[in-house]
A and B are shown apart, each in its own frame.
Chain A
Amino acid sequence: MSDDFRGTPLDAEDFEKGKVLFTRDEPKAEYAWDTGVAIGRYLQELKNGRLIARNCVKCRRVMIPPRMHCEWCWRPTDDWVYVQDRGLVNTFSLCYITWDMQRLKTPEIPAVIEIEGASPGHGIMHKLGGVDPKKVKVGMKVKAVWKPAEERVGSILDILHWAPT
């Protein structure tokens, strides 16, 4: 193999001090997404302060987020099942940066929360709150902290965060 590889590194400074020419643009893209059937009901129930899942009788699986087709057996799912607004922390992180690498003093605590009443290992992504970040553990029991009913709009953000029970 040749050691004479092409490619010319530039420094951030080359741009900041205008040592090199470049072009800038900000493409704009806007979307309005339909909820679909399953997530539409999911959001409606979030507004009511409840979590709802779909059941597949063939796979004996209660899945959340709900969907109208089970990806395992690829049949229509069979019925709606209310599940608890409690669960277990399956995994979590203490995140100290934003997507564009800005630093956060207080970490965000994203987690996968296994939902009580759904099949084992079936959870949703959300955030933990009302807890000392140092005390968060995998396997910890948590409960949803809801927005007041009059402020709920039918969004995953109707749950403010999940807190230890």
Chain B
Amino acid sequence: MRKVAVIGAGLTKFVRRAKETAKELCWAASKAALDSAGLTLKDIDCVVHGTAPDAFDGVHMKAEYLSDGSGAWKKPYFRNYVGGGTGVYAPIHGWYHVASGMFDTCLVVCEEKMSSCQPHPQGAFLTIFDHTTERPLGPNLLWIFALEMNRYMAKHGLTLEEIAQVSVKNKRNAKDHPSAQLGADLTVDDVLKSEVLAWPVHRLMVSPTSDGAGAVILASEQVAKRLTDKPVWIEGVGWCLDSAYWTNRDLYYPKYVEYAARMAYQMAGIKDPRREIHVAEPYDPFAYKELHHLEGLLLADKGQAPKLMSEGFFDRENGQIPSCPSGGLLGVGNPIAAAGLMKICELFWQLRGEAGKRQVKNNPRKGVAQAWGDLMQVGTVVVMGR
């Protein structure tokens, strides 16, 4: 397999409702990524598109519909989708397009425009449940997050305060992100006083619904070295899917995330992730998920991520492994597929020392990004390094 580098990245703003169409958002992110790499569309050999349910847009086969916004006109094109895991899955697909030797450059675009779906984009998630054994009960998406969070808390005896600190950290970090929808200075108390939506989930523990897009440019080693002095290499990729029989497995720990992480670490030659990973972007659609995923990524022992976080281990300023320096989905926003790719963009900027006010201080050489989705069953992981 050939070495593959990220050589450019671009994002739109993440907003509750954008004037721009999905295609226009794709174009904006793709153009920003191309500009940052000093390339034009002529230089791109193939396009990989990540975008979540067609139901958000109400357009069947929406990837085909969006393709001309993403620069795919008369190019090899590939769409992929694993729910919330999509944003880190798409660059994995881009990676093997280039690693295989088939293509020298690949534009990876992730987009979501959730606001079109009325009266609330949650409606698009109602059909993820089993149509015969679950849907008659009238489940909504919050149920499964609340059930998983409660299981995680009950298993380890965690407190709501320990969960709430994630929202505080990420919304604070997001204040320095130019895309951010919900950057804020909050206290743990503010989070705990926010409305209980589905106990133990409080409103300020939930990421917003958003419109937005992101893009990265991938290149083979030869092309990357010609175009930039600061390539950021994709050193490891991993993905893993657990069963859809989610009531037959213990939700307290995301084993499938661990398997995906081990696959990526092994490929990257990482033996001790807690020493070798310097910056992390775990998936944080809900506050507890970041803790859950830090454990799945083996950056904390089971049940220990909350304690480490309260000791500052994951802080952007002085933490040993800054986690979600971007501000994450809780702060920057959650246009599903684009939110995952935002994490890849963040590692790119952090590892190049270009993250501005968000720059972590530990001179990072390796980072890990992770996303999660489907019926609490998929883990997607990318390790990047310089």
A and B from one assembly? yes
A35 close to B (CB within 8 Å): yes
Please tell me which one of the listed residues A10, A42, A101 contacts residue B17 in the complex, with CB atoms under 8 A apart: A10
CB closest residue in chain B, given A4 = B178
Across-interface contacts of B119 in A (CB, < 8 A):
100
Residues 20-62 of B at the A interface (beta carbon under 8 Å): 20, 25, 28, 32, 35-36, 58
Residues 189-205 of B at the A interface (beta carbon under 8 Å): 195-201
12 contacts between A and B (CB under 8 A): A3-B356, A9-B17, A10-B18, A33-B131, A39-B132, A90-B250, A91-B151, A92-B150, A99-B122, A100-B119, A100-B122, A112-B151
A7 touches B13 (CB 8 A): yes
Sample of 8 further A-B pairs with CB below 8 A, known A1-B9, A2-B36, A5-B179: A7-B14, A43-B132, A65-B247, A91-B147, A96-B199, A99-B126, A123-B248, A138-B151
Q: Interface extent on B, as a size class?
A: 35 or more
Please tell me which one of the listed residues B118, B123, B130, B251 contacts residue A99 in the complex, with CB atoms under 8 A apart: B123
Q: How far is the CA of A64 from the CA of B58 in the complex (A)?
A: 34
When A and B form their complex, which 5 residue pairs have the shortest distance between CB atoms, in order from nearest?
A7-B13, A93-B146, A99-B140, A91-B151, A9-B15
CB distance from A127 to the nearest CB of B (A): 6
B32 touches A2 (CB 8 A): yes
B142 close to A (CB within 8 Å): yes
Across-interface contacts of A91 in B (CB, < 8 A):
147-148, 150-151, 154, 251
Please tell me which one of the listed residues A6, A64, A99 contacts residue B20 in the complex, with CB atoms under 8 A apart: A6
Q: How far is the CA of A138 from the CA of B120 in the complex (A)?
A: 31
Residues 93-116 of A at the B interface (beta carbon under 8 Å): 93-101, 107-108, 110-112
Q: How far is the CA of A95 from the CA of B133 in the complex (A)?
A: 20
CB closest residue in chain A, given B119 = A100
CB closest residue in chain A, given B142 = A95
Q: B interface, by DSSP: helix, strand, loop or mixed?
A: mixed
Q: A interface, by DSSP: helix, strand, loop or mixed?
A: loop
Across-interface contacts of B211 in A (CB, < 8 A):
7
Q: How far is the CA of A37 from the CA of B303 in the complex (A)?
A: 40
Q: How far is the CA of A100 from the CA of B134 in the complex (A)?
A: 18
Contact status of A95 and B20, CB under 8 A, knowing A107-B199, A156-B134 = no
Across-interface contacts of B143 in A (CB, < 8 A):
93, 95, 110, 125
B247 touches A95 (CB 8 A): no
Across-interface contacts of A93 in B (CB, < 8 A):
142-143, 146-147, 150, 198-201
